[in-house]
Amino acid sequence: MWASPTGKFSLCSACVRLVKWPRRRLYFTAAAAAAPALSSPTWSSTNPVYFNRNESGVAAGYSIQLDSDGVVHYLQNVRQDPIHALSFFNQLRTGGFVHDVYTYAAMIRILSFWNLDRELNSLLSELLIQMKVGQVKPNFEVFDLLEALPDCSDYSNVEILLKVWDVLVNVHAKLGMFDGARELLILAKKSGITRPCNLTCEFLMNRLIECGEVDSALAIYMELEDRIGLQLNHHIYGFIVKAFCEKGCLKEALDVLLEMEKCGMTPNAFTCSTYIQGLCKYHSSDSGHQALRCFLEAKVPVDEFAYSAVIRGLCRDGNLDAAVDLQEEMLSRGLRTNSVVVGLILQGCCQAGEFSKVVSLFRRYKNADVYLDKFCYNMVMKGFCKLGKVEVAAALLTKMKVNHVHPDVINYTTVFSGYCDEGKLDEAMKLFEEMKRNGITPDVVLYNVLASGLARLGFTQEVKYLLNYMKDSGIEPNNGTYSVIIEGLATGGKLEDAEAFLAALENPSLDIYCGMVNAYCSAKRVINMLLRAGEIRKALELFNEMKANGINPDVVTYTTIMNLYCSVDHLKEAVNLFHDMEAKGVEPDVITYSVLLKGELKEIRCKRSRNREINNSNAVVGPFLYGKLMDVEPDPVMYTVLIDARCKENDMKGAVKFFKEMIDRGLQPDATAYTALLCGYLHVGDAAAAGLVCRLMLENQIEPDGILESVLDRHGKFLLDRNCLQ
């Protein structure tokens, strides 16, 4: 803690007690002096011993009087040999001698005079660490040391004090003792003795920001001119922009840039890239992109970090084309990209399903001599596997080694998964053995991939062997392992084996139950109507078993079962399940509402097909569900369902209301939404309104789908409007 009112400061208020030494003067004995280090010295108060320089490192003709005055006197006499002085100082400390403020000051003066900055840093770091952790307490404070430095010195006091002050601030910053560093800056100005240099302030501010002490960095910025008296430069302004951007205060960061402009300073590349990173992180990649363009037009220096920040933002927002174009521009300007940025682009293309583009971009960057790391290789391997070229992906494992990139377990797992997806288990096992020969230990993820592949192919017995092998290898199967096995067996037609696996588990997790439910639902889609009903029954039984065992289904599982009910025309049961979900505290999402809306629409169609009158009072969901929709953010699919439902009930005003609301929310109607509205107008005989919908559709560059074409063909009276659309 600092004691500012007294002008002195104590870096450690809770220290261990001082080591008490006898008050009599002590002398360095022959046995201790001859040793290379004073690990266990012998002390004597009489008979001083004289040594030759070659024997002990002590100057010839000197007796070492081991008190503060004696050590200071000796250090002053050997000041022309700073290495010897430091060695002597350290040997005394190692032997148990407690240096005081005067011996430290003498040693610091010598190191400062000879510009031995590294040794000075080390000495002060050790001193402050002792004060910080309280292991050994020197019997003085840092301010005492600063006061003692000018005394009894033949050298430039100002230069020594300035150097030591700067080193102390730097050491405080390195050790994370930021309160002490800041107080040193302020006290330097108050004392009128000296002021730290700009580099010291810059280093402190950067360390504060790196350690998350952004407010402290900004506080120093506010004090620089008024209290410390330093002139602001490019570097300090850059750190302030960085601090504001770290806090998300982009307006304040921009104000700093404008202040620089008023002072006639042009932001450097670091400042520009920092501001752009803040825009991309807290605002949008488009804002960062615009700022990059503005800096380029103003001839402000922009480096690869600014480009990389925008590219990362564009990839995050899914704007891959712009990211690729910016990467090309970056390379054309002679700026080097890196594997992290390239990896983000390749990953974005993989997530978008553009696997051919992943391959072409990988080759492009490879030919441009861009270093590609294991992550980049993993993305292109995934691309080749998705394109059905697993052998090419496997060959890349060898090419990686040639290019001095060593494959890891993730790279092997990607290719391994590709083989399993294609049912090539023999090739997968060969790769498995190769991986082990290369000293790479398979992890649980790879074992899960293998377990899933075996289960999907119906190799139940092999799956059991694999589980035992995993345990013998010291890898415990997790919930993911059992989940992929159960779902794989069920979807592969081994429902009984999947049920047996589930029954054998002591405490199945939610993921395992969900895997089984999904498996039943998958089976429902591929078998005939009669068998499907039986699988639905099993899914519902399993769902109830989950709840009985105290496992609360999540929104995905609830929605899956609701969809199951709706598919067999049990809308009422689906709505009851919806109420149960809310009672359990599970929040429905937009997909849940879409499922119920589709279920209601399906029931309305069934009633209409049986020529039964439809009105709002007959709807199972009705106003209740529409009221619930106010609590969620609808998506285009939900709005399309609502529009279609209103049109099917001949409520065109309601349909148009939802259509307009959809646009007002910034959601773009797709061809399905337009087609639903068009069919609604045609059904009520309003050909003019239907034609208007078509024209609006084309104006918004929405390509008519096959359903629209068939509708137009069936309505001859609308052919004239169709010709207008050409």
pLDDT (tens digit per residue) in 146-161: 777 764 444 456 667 7
SS3 478: coil
Q: How many CB atoms lie within 10 A of CB 191?
A: 15
Q: 176 or 139: whose pLDDT is higher? A: 176
**Quick one: average pLDDT of 419-442?**
92
Q: 518 or 249: whose pLDDT is higher? A: 249
Res 115 pLDDT > 50: yes
Q: 57 or 317: whose pLDDT is higher? A: 317
Question: Are 233 and 264 within 8 A, CB to CB?
Answer: no
pLDDT confidence tier of residue 120, bands split at 50, 70 and 90: confident
For residue 366, the model assigns a pLDDT of 93
In a domain, 718, yes or no: yes
Q: 37 or 388: whose pLDDT is higher? A: 388
In a domain, 628, yes or no: yes
**Quick one: average pLDDT of 563-577?**
82
In a domain, 726, yes or no: yes
Q: What is the pLDDT of residues 509-531, one digit of tens each?
A: 666 666 666 655 554 343 333 33
Total domain count, the chain: 2
Which of 633, 663, 680 delimits the end of a domain?
Answer: 633
For residue 52, the model assigns a pLDDT of 37
| Sequence-separated (6 or more) residues with CB below 8 Å from residue 219 | 182
Query: In terms of domains, do 671 and 693 share one?
Result: yes
For residue 718, what are its two tokens? 């609308």
Res 256 pLDDT > 80: yes
Query: In terms of domains, do 643 and 629 share one?
Result: no
Place of tokens 């304040």: 252
**Quick one: average pLDDT of 397-422?**
93
Res 566 pLDDT > 80: yes
In a domain, 384, yes or no: no
**Domain containing 673: what range?**
636-726
Res 382 pLDDT > 90: yes
Query: In terms of domains, do 606 and 672 share one?
Result: no
For residue 363, the model assigns a pLDDT of 95
How far is Cα 366 from Cα 639, in angstroms, rounded to an integer? 46
How far is Cα 409 from Cα 401, in angstroms, rounded to an integer? 14
For residue 643, the model assigns a pLDDT of 84
In a domain, 610, yes or no: yes
pLDDT confidence tier of residue 291, bands split at 50, 70 and 90: very high
Query: In terms of domains, do 609 and 669 share one?
Result: no
How far is Cα 713 from Cα 122, in angstroms, rounded to an integer? 88
Strand partners, 3: 8
Query: In terms of domains, do 686 and 701 share one?
Result: yes
Query: In terms of domains, do 629 and 660 share one?
Result: no
Res 323 pLDDT > 60: yes
In a domain, 426, yes or no: no
In a domain, 137, yes or no: no
SS3 3: strand
In a domain, 341, yes or no: no
For residue 433, the model assigns a pLDDT of 92
Which of 610, 633, 656 delimits the end of a domain?
Answer: 633
Q: 54 or 533: whose pLDDT is higher? A: 533
How far is Cα 591 from Cα 595, in angstroms, rounded to an integer? 6
- DSSP states along 436-449: HHTTPPP-HHHHHH
How far is Cα 481 from Cα 464, in angstroms, rounded to an integer? 12
For residue 532, the model assigns a pLDDT of 45
Q: What is the pLDDT of residues 662-677, one digit of tens each?
A: 888 878 888 888 888 8
| Number of helical H runs and strand E runs in the chain | 39, 4
Q: 300 or 498: whose pLDDT is higher? A: 300
Query: In terms of domains, do 692 and 720 share one?
Result: yes
Full-model pTM: 0.56
**Quick one: average pLDDT of 606-622?**
51
Q: What is the 3-state secondary structure (H, E, C) of 632-675?
A: CCCCHHHHHHHHHHHHHCCCHHHHHHHHHHHHHCCCCCCHHHHH
For the chain, percent of residues with pLDDT exceeding 70: 72
How far is Cα 299 from Cα 475, in angstroms, rounded to an integer? 58
Nearest by Cα to 310 from 333, 334, 327, 298:
327
**Quick one: average pLDDT of 481-500?**
80
Looking at residue 44, what DSSP letter applies?
E
Looking at residue 351, what DSSP letter applies?
H
pLDDT confidence tier of residue 698, bands split at 50, 70 and 90: confident
Query: In terms of domains, do 641 and 724 share one?
Result: yes
Lowest mean pLDDT among 37-41, 121-125, 358-362, 410-414: 37-41
Query: In terms of domains, do 661 and 604 share one?
Result: no
Most confident of 65-74, 287-296, 482-491, 699-708: 287-296
For residue 169, the model assigns a pLDDT of 80
For residue 430, the model assigns a pLDDT of 93
Most confident of 95-109, 518-532, 711-725: 95-109
pLDDT confidence tier of residue 432, bands split at 50, 70 and 90: very high
pLDDT confidence tier of residue 53, bands split at 50, 70 and 90: very low
Res 463 pLDDT > 50: yes
For residue 154, the model assigns a pLDDT of 44
Lowest mean pLDDT among 224-233, 387-396, 643-652: 224-233
For residue 203, the model assigns a pLDDT of 80
Query: In terms of domains, do 562 and 600 share one?
Result: yes
Which of 601, 633, 665 delimits the end of a domain?
Answer: 633
For residue 101, the model assigns a pLDDT of 84
Res 190 pLDDT > 60: yes
Lowest mean pLDDT among 25-39, 122-136, 604-618: 25-39
Q: What is the pLDDT of residues 202-240, one digit of tens each?
A: 788 888 888 888 888 777 777 765 545 566 788 888 888
Mean pLDDT of the chain: 76
Q: Which residue type occupies 373?
A: D
Query: In terms of domains, do 558 and 607 share one?
Result: yes
For residue 514, the model assigns a pLDDT of 65
Query: In terms of domains, do 610 and 695 share one?
Result: no
Q: Which residue type occupies 496?
A: E
For residue 711, the model assigns a pLDDT of 56
How far is Cα 282 from Cα 253, in angstroms, rounded to an integer? 12
For residue 48, the model assigns a pLDDT of 37
Q: 376 or 634: whose pLDDT is higher? A: 376
For residue 208, the model assigns a pLDDT of 81
pLDDT confidence tier of residue 718, bands split at 50, 70 and 90: very low
For residue 437, the model assigns a pLDDT of 92
CA atoms in the 13 A half-sphere facing the CB of 133 = 8
Place of tokens 């006898």: 22
For residue 178, the model assigns a pLDDT of 78
Res 416 pLDDT > 90: yes
